[in-house]
Structure 1
């Protein structure tokens, strides 16, 4: 028999030994109250305090050494009162000593539950609870935490309570409560008594799902029993449908287009979920194709069933969305094949993430039957004939692309460009297929034979000597970006000296030549450019001659004549590990002139020479009393020689260069300045003169 006590109250406690019961928020173990008291043997006794999770055992008179303790949290623990327990003081045993209650615990057993009936029933039906002193029950609590107040009881007497099972109730034990918390505005702890038997609350039951398989977008019917208990339906894919007035069937008129295969879930008002058997979906089926040998950009028809479900047709290296279909029905799809598609099977996709595979397609490629003339000079036209030439995207003679001036399915007209080479003509198609002519085309030229250059690079304003044979055929030399040479030195049949224009673009470049006969040709690629001139040497702060590095972990100062620019240079001469790597540094404003330097108008110039592949990013540091500022410098290109890198002072920010605070001035740079990187380095890089320069634009030092 289970009993419920009336008149529950908190009781106070004494401290003993080291226990502290003064504050709820103290760091010591403390007991502030326990209850209910009077309590019920077999019922629950609760303790409120601080750090009660450290209690090791509890002594009740007649039931000492209780260790089966439920820890609700730091501030509350609970025990079940043994049947042997007697009135008296309660003792909590802790690692810090014993805590004894100020007042004794008492026991009362006025309320009891002898049984509940029926043990199985449906929400909305009446449950009968029998026992004694049920007339003082204030509420009944169903699983899971569903409270019914006495005002909503069907009937209440000393020996019996009748109550309707709430729609939200779940299966489990039934609790009767004296409502001490309700009657005291939460100040007292209520006594709860559990039924010995568990109540079995009826759940909805699914007996069939039709149709199965379902066609997305169609009508779905779920049949079963007790559907008046269903709050909502969750379809595979996540769509939720609130249910109203259902009893034995639920009809979903328009299922979502993106419904998935899987389990249908009914959610009862109690929150308990009931699952169906797996729902399958109708998939598109392919019956036939208009062709299996097809052409990029041509019409293509797929016939079959349920093709209206298709949202996308995916081909090898190309796809077509349903919105771009030419025609679309349940029986057929007409579309235009992507220009980029290549041989292979295609797949039809649906919004439900199902798919259907089609057979492999073969895409036609162009054929080159002939070309005329079979030889021509640059800037002359050639006509190619064949089939499917409308698929051609570009025409090549060696490494030089020809210009397409006319194009049909059977004919291509192209212009031969300077630099074209004799050999097979190559056509590339829109899907990347390459086709070569079976015979060679001859490029007619009467051009000099260029063997190379005397210098390793062309420096603006200086002579670049071209070497070869028949060089007196050259009339004009044109540098990249159509910059014509205007000044020459000596000329002979084997050498021509040309002054590199000052405005030439720095980097590897190709010089074009025009002969007196009007023919054009290309010279070997050469590095063009040099370093920017130092306008005021007093602003140079690294030159590795008199202004070098005081410290650094990697690299060294070198003076190899083959690499020197204008004296010593610093070379990163070893592969570097990951993490921070520093190279050359000084501090304390040493040889660091800042007079008249402003962040908005000045830059840092650094001459570099990359001997390997493009480097990773670098970081330049300017550290001082205003903060620690870094500029992130993009990786250096290998340009075949020395060139100048510009670092605006406005690029310097805090937090290793990633922050939001910009360098305010350079006059307060009184600590470290130098170069570092934060990732591994696997190539050799040289650095020479580093200096400050004012530019006629808004930039950094």
Structure 2
């Protein structure tokens, strides 16, 4: 083994004998290049050959070379602090260096020379270390490490591979020439250091490595294991193990035999298939083998088929591993479970397929099941005209959410009178064809045969309609040839422009007030049928037909609204009455889409109520609906004054 002649020193600056307080900064700073680099002190002094030497001053991180008397130039150093209060350290060579002044050189050629010379201590010697017998650098945790030298009584700790320091209180013997210590669990192969444990400690590191025998594994059993059960790992020196890692989770419980030759470890619930690693106190991972985790088997669901909303029982092996359950199209929850049985309620939304059981370790298993389906045993009529009432009898009919009939648009009934054994409904007028389809509450469908829906002669309309009073509106449907009269509530429709069996166009009578009404059709036999709702809107009145600009000129389109009398106007109280302006009326200002601007609405006292704007040029119409608040505001000074800045208005209307 290579010998070391090293000396430990204390780094307390007050005792270093290095203070340069008697020297001015000029004495120490010969940096003629103006980098403001200066040396204030260095130490410890005397310093240990091979030990650490500290330099303190300003901007020492800019030093390019440090020269110790008799030694080769040193260009490698560690920066502890940089800037105006800086500190750097170097490792003193073990040989060649002699007593004298220290020189620091800057990158630009400046030279800084210490006032105080550097001196050395050589009273501590490290001559050798071994385990058991001399020249043996290999040992196991717990074996005795012997360190030989001189003045070893100044040593207060040993650092094994950068782990926790072994304090001298743990040395088994300690005198001037010898230290013996048990190799700690934290030790791992590598060099180790002797330290004086000072605030800024000196450390001596061996050049030879101490080789630590690692634990070995000879077997792992069983390799197929259920979470929560134990596996046994056999080997040597297993008492060095601090933790055990499974794939997916660390072990929480394990026991090491006193002889260190076996470990019993409980497999965590989250552990899954894969490697098992033993981790020593020093952090070394040792592969111990691999495991395969058990999943539930021999799974059977009953009853099968099962009804939505009822309980399903799953039996099998190792079901206590299950932490969650899911059904096709629906999440589930476990009501009760043990190692051989799980009970859960089938959700209403669950569909046919496989039930999925999930384990804590991320694995899943499935079990097949089927759902009960509705069965029709009887129709009140097997051949029936659309529009009539129908009763369907059977089993599990409470699972049905809606009934779809044949015909244009697949007319569907969602309002059902139903029990588990019967459904009552009215067949849609638009239905025609054979067979029906059940849409179940879980989204699945069941086709049902055995019924024929004959077309109804009753008139029917496909959708509610909207129109303007005095204008024509078109409705679509069927059986219009069987219609003798059409009325909006009690107002008879007089004018038709077109009419077929599936479409008719008629004028909404001017005598109908704005509102929503029943549209009624009467057949030759006097039967009146409400076929849809019709909303009749008041016609839009052109403002230009009722008012003029404030300067007396007529309003013409395209109209330019301004803030002057040539482009603004007033709707007086009498004109408001004539046009029928009231709560619910709508003002519209049609314009070119790309035009940008604003329209201001005021009352007769020129007090603004609101401003309609389009600053992006994206709107084709600006609209104001007169609500009660707006009407009350206008009535404070009864009239409406409209002005603003908006070009290219194509029309201005009021819809009463």
Q: CA deviation at 1:428?
A: 0.8
Q: 1:339 to 1:331 in 2, by over 3 A?
A: same
Equivalent of 2:159, from 125, 131, 141? Answer: 141
User: Secondary structure of 1:67's partner?
Assistant: coil
Matched with 1:521 is 531
Which whole-Å deviations, capped at 9, do the CAs of 1:613-656 have from their partners, x for residues lacking one? xxxxx999xxxxxxxxxxxxxxx9x9x9986699xxxxxxxxxx
- Aligned residues of 2:217 and 2:233 also touching (Cα < 8 A): yes
Q: CA deviation at 1:405?
A: 0.6
Q: 1:450 to 1:386 in 2, by over 3 A?
A: closer
Give the 5 Å matches for 1:295-694.
296=308, 302-321=314-333, 323-324=334-335, 328-333=337-342, 335-358=344-367, 366=374, 371-373=379-381, 374-376=383-385, 378=387, 380-385=388-393, 389-397=397-405, 398-408=410-420, 411-416=422-427, 420-423=430-433, 425-438=436-449, 440-442=452-454, 444=456, 446-447=458-459, 457-458=467-468, 465-467=472-474, 473-474=485-486, 477=489, 491-492=494-495, 494-497=506-509, 513=520, 517-522=527-532, 545-546=560-561, 566-569=588-591, 571=593
Matched with 1:90 is 102
Q: 1:191 to 1:302 in 2, by over 3 A?
A: closer
Matched with 2:25 is none
Matched with 2:552 is none
- Aligned residues of 2:514 and 2:537 also touching (Cα < 8 A): no
Aligned length: 546
Matched with 1:67 is 75
- Aligned residues of 1:450 and 1:523 also touching (Cα < 8 A): no
- Aligned residues of 1:395 and 1:403 also touching (Cα < 8 A): no
Task: State the distance in 2 between where 1:200 and 1:597 align.
Answer: 99
Matched with 1:2 is 4
- Aligned residues of 1:115 and 1:197 also touching (Cα < 8 A): no
Matched with 1:109 is 122
Measured on the aligned residues, the alpha-carbon RMSD in Å equals: 5.2
Task: State the distance in 2 between where 1:451 and 1:142 align.
Answer: 88
- Aligned residues of 2:308 and 2:371 also touching (Cα < 8 A): yes
Task: State the distance in 2 between where 1:102 and 1:645 align.
Answer: 95
Q: CA deviation at 1:130?
A: 0.3
Q: CA deviation at 1:394?
A: 0.9
Equivalent of 2:64, from 56, 59, 66? Answer: 56
Structure 1 or 2, whichever has the larger Rg, is 2
Task: State the distance in 2 between where 1:98 and 1:527 align.
Answer: 100
Residue range with higher mean Cα deviation, 105-114 or 166-175: 166-175
Matched with 1:155 is 173
Task: State the distance in 1 between where 2:606 and 2:157 align.
Answer: 83
Equivalent of 1:177, from 173, 180, 195? Answer: 195
- Aligned residues of 1:303 and 1:331 also touching (Cα < 8 A): yes
- Aligned residues of 1:287 and 1:304 also touching (Cα < 8 A): yes
Q: Is 1:38 aligned to residue 38 of structure 2?
A: no
Equivalent of 1:16, from 30, 35, 40? Answer: 30
Matched with 2:630 is none
Q: CA deviation at 1:406?
A: 2.0
- Aligned residues of 2:223 and 2:291 also touching (Cα < 8 A): yes
- Aligned residues of 2:246 and 2:277 also touching (Cα < 8 A): yes
Matched with 2:574 is none
Tell me the TM-score normalized by structure 1: 0.63
Q: CA deviation at 1:521?
A: 1.6
- Aligned residues of 2:486 and 2:493 also touching (Cα < 8 A): no
- Aligned residues of 1:450 and 1:467 also touching (Cα < 8 A): no
Q: 1:219 to 1:464 in 2, by over 3 A?
A: farther
Which whole-Å deviations, capped at 9, do the CAs of 1:129-178 have from their partners, x for residues lacking one? 10122122233333324223444433322221223444444443222234
Q: CA deviation at 1:113?
A: 1.2
Residue range with higher mean Cα deviation, 489-498 or 300-309: 489-498
Task: State the distance in 2 between where 1:597 and 1:85 align.
Answer: 101
**Gaps (5+ residues) in structure 2?**
21-27, 132-136, 497-505, 544-548, 550-557, 564-585, 627-644
Task: State the distance in 2 between where 1:290 and 1:375 align.
Answer: 40
Q: 1:342 to 1:64 in 2, by over 3 A?
A: same
Q: 1:311 to 1:511 in 2, by over 3 A?
A: farther
